[in-house]
Structure 1
Amino acid sequence: MFGSKKIATIGAVLLTSVFALGSLAACGGSASATNGSGVQEIKIATGNDGKPFCYMNEAGDLDGYDVAVIKAVGDKLSKYYKFTFETSDFPTTLSNLSSGKAQIAAYEYEINAERKAKFVYGTVGMTKWDTLIVSDPKNGKVYQTFDELKGKKVYVTTATNQAAMAEAYLKKNPNAFTLVYGTYTNEQIVQGLTSGAYDATLAPQYSLDLWNDSFKKGLEGSKKAVNKSSSYILFNKSADKTLMKRVNTAMKQLKDDGTFEKLSQQYYGADYVPED
């Protein structure tokens, strides 16, 4: 489950199988290689259990919104690149990108100072990520602010922006509430909320909708977002500037032609594409 790695490949066609990938020659500190046709191989770090963003579907294929976006980019850039996916849990995707095992990472990354110092953000927003405080009203109340969480337990996925914003609040308000860290699946997050293992979590509207639709629960979110943002892909700082430009341009085209909205409807059930 968590931490396992599978490698899937795409080029100009859709992903058809998961296979073992041999080692690639390092080029300027990045994981890339060029085949005889001049097409460069680029590794993409993503998740394997982060539905609906990036996960293994029932057929055993890598799937999800972020994966589908990158596949569409790969289709557009197949003249230059062949993308391969390196899958892991959320924190490991950042480690893989930082170490040079991947040149690009796609797993709903919001902007924060720590990541900006280590990586280069893509220029095209992928998903609205306005964060709500989510709880099960059967276990108490619907929390509207961080101040209302005093003395409570709050689950956050390790290394996420939600963890960072909660940590920032605790620096100013020591011991206000307790953070429960993990890399839980959607089902595990919901189970924790409904069982009372923790009192609340931080999540966007589409996650709340997904949890209630999938598990038939009456979870509720705060009326107002505690943080407004969007998600982006990340590039390794040593990634080729031409690669960055081509990928950003392709993503802008896919957003403008409605592909992002179509994929958002497919994977989220609604249009959560940001305007930026």
Structure 2
Amino acid sequence: MRPFAALATGLLALTAFSHAIAGTTLDRVESHKELVNVLMESYPPFSFLNEQNQLDGFDVDVAKAVAEKLGVKLRLETPSWDVIAAGHWSGRYDICICSMTPSQARAQVFDFPVTYYASPAVIVVNAKDDRIHGAKDLNGLKVGLTSASSYESYLNKNLVIEGAEQQKIDYPFEAVQAVPYDTDNVAFQDLALGAGVRLDAVLTNLVTAQPRLKQDTRFKLAGAALYEEPNAVAIEKGDPQWDAKVREVFAQLKADGTLARLSQKWIGADISK
């Protein structure tokens, strides 16, 4: 066989194998009797380690409800966010119920069957900082955020939300120094050191910010919300059977009130509407 023909045959085999992995998620879940959900270890109140050192939170409970509807057990995996958001999971994970914003860039590697809650993006600053009153005041400053997040795309002025392309997103600044972190926790620790010591602000989700704002007088909101941020369930791209099943399960969880109940439990309001 000529080298080119051998290479072509190998590529075809690899492509077929990749499609086989991508198209059999539901079969794998049912066969293993296990749903593998990937999420962040520290993103309260959506996912975090509780006093028993167990994963807890809104996303965790939603994943449990999905596994129950499927009649399987749940396994949670917590790699870094950049690993989660990069996609190309190759069958390691089945689903991401993990507060992912469906950007156009991510839509190249993921499908987003369901948007299961929405909350605005906000700026948090040190309580003693009177310099920042909105996004226009971030110009030239250091802003902490989760690595590979939609917030990083926002500061880079190239955020396009998949399915909400008509949403106008304003960028009233020239250039901001984005400072990526593995988790919000460390970013807030640095912000607590004082205005401009390590950070000037943190860009995050309003729901995530609210517990810190209530419990810690070192932080405050700066200005109005920046943009509405839908959060979707993400799955590996190109698996219509699994996509349809995920849509079916979330329709059930919405219809029977589970999503609203869990939202009230963890957020104090129904953000699943």
* Same topology, TM > 0.5: yes
Q: Percent identity?
A: 22
* 2:145 is the alignment partner of 1:151: no
Alignment length, in residue pairs?
240
Name the CA shift for 1:135/1:57 in 2 (closer, same or farther; >3 Å). Answer: same
Query: Could you tell me which residue of structure 1 aligns to residue 202 of structure 2?
Result: 201
Question: Letter of the aligned partner of 1:182 in structure 2?
Answer: Y
Tell me, yes or no, if the aligned pair for 2:26 and 2:241 is still in contact at 8 Å: no
Whether the aligned pair in 2 keeps the contact of 1:122 and 1:233 (CA below 8 Å) is: yes
The verdict on how the C-alpha distance between 1:173 and 1:133 changes in structure 2, with shifts beyond 3 A counting, is closer
CA, structure 1 residues 272+27, in 2 after alignment: closer, same or farther (shift >3 Å)?
same
| 1:86 CA drift (Å) | 2.0
Preserved CA contact (<8 Å) 1:136 1:142: no
Alpha-carbon distance between aligned partners in 2 of 1:157 and 1:266, rounded to the nearest angstrom: 25
SS of match in other structure, 2:227: coil
The aligned counterpart of 2:131 is: 141
3-state SS of paired residue (2:75): strand
1:112-152 CA-to-partner distances (Å, cap 9, x unmatched) read: 111111110122x222231122212412334312x321221
**Contact between 2:144 and 2:203, CA under 8 Å: does it hold in 1?**
yes
1:163-182, CA deviations, whole angstroms, 9 ceiling, x for partnerless residues? 11111269x89962211111
CA distance in 2, matches of 1:56, 1:218: 22
- The 1:177–1:253 alpha-carbon spacing in structure 2 relative to 1, beyond 3 Å, is same
* Partner of residue 12, structure 1: none
Distance in 1 (alpha carbons) for counterparts of 2:152 and 2:134: 17
* Cα distance in 2 for residues equivalent to 1:189 and 1:133: 12
Q: Are the structure 2 counterparts of residues 233 and 34 from structure 1 closer, same or farther at C-alpha, using a change threshold of 3 Å?
A: closer
Q: Give unmatched runs, 5+ long, in structure 2.
A: 1-17, 160-170
Q: Which of 54, 61, 69 is residue 54 of structure 2 equivalent to?
A: 61
Give the TM-score normalised by structure 2.
0.76
If asked which structure has higher relative contact order (CA below 8 Å, sep 6+), I would say 2
Superposed CA offset, 1:13-40 (max 9, x none): xxxxxxxxxxxxx9922586969x8565
Match in the other structure for 2:221: 220
TM-superposed deviation, 1:210: 1.2
- The residue that corresponds to 1:234 in the other structure is 234
* 1:53–1:67 contact (8 Å) kept in structure 2: yes
Q: Distance in 2 between matches of 1:163 and 1:127?
A: 20
Amino acid at match of 1:154: V
Contact 2:45 2:207 survives alignment (8 Å):
no
Length-normalised TM-score, structure 1: 0.75
- The residue identity in structure 2 corresponding to 1:139 is D
Match of 1:167 among 138, 142, 156: 156
Moved more, 157-166 or 250-259: 250-259
- Give the conservation status (yes or no) of the 8 Å contact 2:127–2:218: no
Conservation of the 8 A alpha-carbon contact between 1:40 and 1:82: yes
Whether the 8 Å contact between 1:29 and 1:238 is mirrored in structure 2 is: no
The structure number with the bigger radius of gyration is 2
Call closer, same or farther: CA 1:175–1:181 in 2, change over 3 Å.
farther
Task: Please state how far the C-alpha of 1:58 moved relative to its aligned partner.
Answer: 1.9
Alignment partner of 1:263 is 2:256: no
For residues 84 and 27 of structure 1, the distance between their equivalents in structure 2, rounded to whole angstroms, comes to 24
Following superposition, the deviation at residue 264 of structure 1 comes to: 1.8
Q: Which residue of 2 aligns with 1:75?
A: 68
Please show how residues 167-186 of structure 1 align to structure 2 within 5 Å.
Answer: 167-168=156-157, 176-186=175-185
Stretch moving more, 196-205 or 37-46: 37-46
Between the aligned partners of 2:216 and 2:94, the Cα distance in structure 1 is: 36
Change (3 A) 1:84 1:253: same
The gaps in structure 1 that reach 5 residues or longer are 1-25
Higher helix share: 2
